[in-house]
Chains A and B, each alone.
Chain A
Amino acid sequence: MKATLSNSDYLRNFDRFISRLDFSDPDTLRIYSHPKWINVHPAVLALIVAMAMRAGKQNVMFENLTATSGSYLDRMGLFEFTQQKSPYTINKKEESGRFIPITVIKNSTEQSKFITDMVPLLHLPADKTDAIKYTIGELLRNVLEHAGSTAGAIVAAQYYKKSNTIRIGICDGGIGMKKSLQHYWASRSKTDIEAIKWAMVPGISGTTRKEGGTEDNAGAGLFFIKSIAQVARNYFMIYSGSGIYKLLLHDKRVEKPRLHPDPDDDRHSERNDAPYFQGTLVAIDLSLENKSEFTQLLSAIREVYGKAVRDRKRKKYKEPRFI
């Protein structure tokens, strides 16, 4: 396998990073990088760790790691997943370190501890952290329940002061979204991109054919996360198998971006020909500038969710037979 880190691997340009991935030969991983500058989204690191776990620590090699900014990889803990030692010396107590290093979560107890422990790392006011805890909590739980990954969930995040944004990546090397939906929704998940989009529809869960879910799963998680990103006018991306769905930025002149139950109605890009990744990567940028409260956001999501359930119910009503 091969991955190449560039000087601008953010969600806006994520297709470029993905097009350079090579998942052939799963027993080795070679990581190439820009010789002078490395700038990567935490989702890139989460994905590389998933690849490194598949290859085995001793089979991961960095090539031409010369950029001084590569110390970020050390700061985020990437070298803990490789045999190779870090060539960098970093001061771990620098004030700028508002980040959550790469962490592997294997069960709900570890998840709860992680969510409690991560907030102080970000040095953010308490009222700004609800959306972050919500997003990470739901995405981690999705991995633990649906991904079928024995290695667990890989999470990393970074706060960017200039844009007042937190960028989050969560990845697993599990069965992928298509397989996760196959049992109950085979006809709606024939391709990876179909599966990704169907999983975002309100009330659709991989654990039941019934819309509305079971006692343990409502099928609402990804719809909520997508909506949180949408209202905050930020990127949200899912990469699984060969499919990629990316929510694009809303025009800032639009005061309130409209939430849609059908992901096809959102301003997005999609493809189903990406290098095949066995697992799922979810990446999200959350702006903390958003003036509307998290409660208002939840209220807006509730209205759209309720309407989606009602509309789908109406579609199943039987028509009177006029003869």
Chain B
Amino acid sequence: MSMIIKMKDLAGDFAENKDVAKDLRVTKIMPALADGKEVVLDFSGVSGTTQSFIHALISEPIRQFRDVALEKMHHKNCSDVVKEVIKTVYEYMQESLDSGNYEK
């Protein structure tokens, strides 16, 4: 089972609204991962995003579900900008987890 989230419908063509990111995280991504589902974040039509949006969207799932989140979250149709920002958050989140230096 997988859940597909169309980012453009919720966050617009430049994803920067952290309130939207937080809502998606709390109401969709976290429950889906808790149920063992795959989560597909479809960025089709989203030209760019900010680091703080992506952090609010996926940092907590990575912190809480760790390898499960890293394996079950998929990012589809990403522009180069979106890819770079997601790679940044993945990298520093995994560094933070390794050091136990991240608080809820």
Contacts and interface: CB of A to CB of B under 8 A. Distances in A.
Nearest to A218: B55
Contacts of B87: 299, 302
Contact of A210 (B18, B81, B102): B102
Interface string A185-226: 000000000000000000100001011111111101100100
B80 A310 contact: no
B14 A133 contact: yes
Contacts of B52: 138, 141, 217-218, 220-221
A210 B48 CA distance: 28
Q: How large is the interface on B (under 10, 10 to 19, 20 to 34, 35 or more residues)?
A: 35 or more
A306 B96 CA distance: 10
A295 B47 contact: no
A249 to B, nearest CB: 25
Contacts of B18: 108, 141, 145, 216
A111 interface: yes
Given A111-B16, A218-B55, A309 B92 contact: yes
Contact of A298 (B22, B85, B104): B85
Contact of B56 (A216, A305, A310): A216
A138 B51 contact: yes
A134 B55 contact: no
A126 interface: yes
A295 B48 CA distance: 10
Contacts of B83: 295
B59 A130 contact: no
Given A112-B17, A133-B48, A298-B85, A316 B63 contact: no
Contacts of B55: 213, 216-218, 220
B51 A137 contact: no
A143 to B, nearest CB: 13
Contacts of A137: 14, 16, 50, 53
Given A299-B84, A306-B95, A111 B17 contact: yes
Given A108-B19, A112-B16, A215-B60, A138 B95 contact: no
Nearest to B92: A309
A301 B16 contact: no
A218 B51 contact: yes
Interface string B71-85: 000000000110111
6 contacts: A137-B14, A212-B92, A213-B55, A215-B59, A216-B55, A309-B96
Shortest Cβ-Cβ A-B pairs, 3 listed: A137-B16, A215-B60, A298-B84
